[in-house]
Amino acid sequence: MDKIITQQLTDIANTFRERHLCALFEADPSRGRRYYVETANLWLNYSRNHLDDSAIEHLLMLANKSALDEKRQALFSGETLNQSETRAAKHTLLRAPLKPHDADSVEIHQVLKQMASFVADIQSNQIIADTVITDVVCIGIGGSELGTRIVHQALSASMRPRVQLHFLANIDGTAAKSVMRRVTKESTLFLITSKTFTTIETLQNFATLKAWFTQDFTEQAFMKRCYAITANPDAAIDLKFENKQIFKFWDWVGGRFSLWSAVGLPIAIAYGMETFSELLAGANQMDGHFLHTPFHENLPVMLALIHIWYGNFLGYPTRAVIPYAQKLEKFPAYLQQLEMESLGKSIDIEGQRLQYPTSPIIWGSAGSNGQHAFFQLLHQGSQIVPVDFIAALEPEHEFVDHHNALLANCLAQSQTLMTGGAIDKKEHGHFNGNRPSNFILMQKLTPFCLGQLLALYEHKVFTQSVIWNINAFDQWGVELGKRIASDILAHQTPNRPMTFADIQATFSHPHCADGKNTPDCDDSA
């Protein structure tokens, strides 16, 4: 980050140490209307933050100094932004209209047609002769599962899925056992999603379900019900998948941005290709907003700058995300991967160690449940935790009084965090307030608006990565653990339970990064 602007922002931040948010509203009663940006069906009010016009002006200067405009153009033009892996990051192309002269776009839309045909065959009972498909088991982990799961959860509360989706991610055998108990073999399809088709958890779960299925049926019957979603078709073919059973995506599709590709096939199966298309359209709308809108009116840019302001200048190391929508209960978990895997870096793109913090710790849960769990800490805890509140103006159900009560609670929490107050004369009943929050409001939690919301946070993360000068599209910290797990497993005898002695041996002979049993393999200093 630019040192001169950073110092100016640090000086501005210090002026807010003794300034209460209520005082900012008293000095400028119009800030609730001015500190506000919007695009179709989506609004952000950021007035309840320790910001003034000078802080915003300098944050915008920071964005301009980082060449954000050039970098967002590079993102959409398919330049190699993932430099550590020499790849582009063209996930926005996955939700864009067909570009006949772009080979990647043509191939993307060919896969979309393949998906639509597959969905139609399921609906017309043509996948397995004379068999109605009732269940689909989605085997995959991380980006191969999280995005699809959050969309499924969001849609299933108001739309009846045409088939039941079951997600199998964890390598814990109880997860596989749970799926086995809930499905009927003959009427179930299995989608195996892995970018490389080498993911340990995914292949182990695939093998376990195969062994379970073939207790009663042939391997041929099992494979007839299996479909691969991967960027490595050759590896799928090696595992006896036929070409017609493979849905392709590409190595430039990062896992946490892969929902928009064939990885989102379970959504199309359960809710129809038209619903998946609406999701893509919402994300594409946000793409256009991010690409073409000036920074001061740009939702992803302004949200990113506020989050940078929290961590780099006000010193808040964590942020809560509280969706007042039961359908978005798992949205904080989705953001944990999107934000912490993308931004959890301590090395910049030139390979230099950073001298400033990057990703905060993201956590949260659905409101109003959280009010009866961790909101005590938000209101009276010794650390200040900024909050992103998310809500929908219109309900997806007929219970208007329920929705009014939900919104009232959301608004009340945001207001109380700012104003504070007292419910008892004793000190324990006093709330200082002065705790920041953002308020994100959707018109209605439709597939279109959900696509907008997910893309909003994607572009926010990209904006932060540009300003911090880090690569948002790699995840080397994930890869090392996978390698060591494989090494540990290689020393175990198949089908023999691991013993206490086996576990103790890993502490006696740690697998350090340099391959030596020495303390200097720790690079955390």
Same domain, 174 and 142: yes
Give the pLDDT confidence score for residue 520 in this predicted structure.
Answer: 36
Same domain, 66 and 104: no
Among 145, 278, 341, 458, the active-site one is 341
Query: For the chain, how long is the longest CA-to-CA vector?
Result: 75
**Annotated catalytic residue 341:** yes
Rg (CA), the chain: 25
525 residues of the chain, pLDDT tens digit each: 899 999 999 999 999 988 999 999 999 999 999 999 999 999 999 999 999 999 999 999 999 999 999 999 999 999 999 999 999 999 999 999 999 999 999 999 999 999 999 999 999 999 998 899 999 999 999 999 999 999 999 999 888 999 999 999 999 999 999 999 999 999 999 999 999 999 999 999 999 999 999 999 999 999 999 999 999 999 999 999 999 999 999 999 999 999 999 999 999 999 999 999 999 999 999 999 999 999 999 999 999 999 999 999 999 999 999 999 999 999 999 999 999 999 999 999 999 999 999 999 999 999 999 999 999 999 999 999 999 999 999 998 899 999 999 999 999 999 999 998 877 767 777 778 899 999 999 999 999 999 999 999 999 999 999 999 999 999 988 888 888 888 888 888 888 999 998 888 888 866 555 544 433 333 333
Pinpoint the alpha helices (H) of 157-218. 173-182, 200-213
φ and ψ at residue 492, rounded to 5 degrees: -100, 150
Same domain, 144 and 71: no
DSSP secondary structure string, 463-524? HHHHHHT--TT--HHHHHHHHHHHHHHHTSPTTSPPPHHHHHHHHHS---TTSSS-GGG---
Same domain, 243 and 176: yes
d(CA 455, CA 300): 9
Same domain, 383 and 234: no
Same domain, 263 and 366: no
Query: Would you give the DSSP letter of residue 199?
Result: -
**Confidence (pTM):** 0.93
CATH number of the domain within which 164 lies? 3.40.50.10490
Give the pLDDT confidence score for residue 428 in this predicted structure.
Answer: 74
**Annotated catalytic residue 482:** yes
Among 101, 244, 372, 425, the active-site one is 372
Among 482, 491, 509, 516, the active-site one is 482
Give the pLDDT confidence score for residue 18 in this predicted structure.
Answer: 86
**Annotated catalytic residue 307:** no
Those residues with Cβ within 8 angstroms of residue 54's Cβ, 6 or more apart along the chain or in another chain: 12
Pairing of strands 246-248, 226-230: parallel
Q: Which domain holds residue 312?
A: 3-86+280-476
Q: Domain boundary at 271, 289, 319, which?
A: 271
Same domain, 353 and 412: yes
Instruction: Count how many domains the chain has.
Output: 2
Same domain, 105 and 251: yes
Same domain, 207 and 138: yes
d(CA 338, CA 256): 6
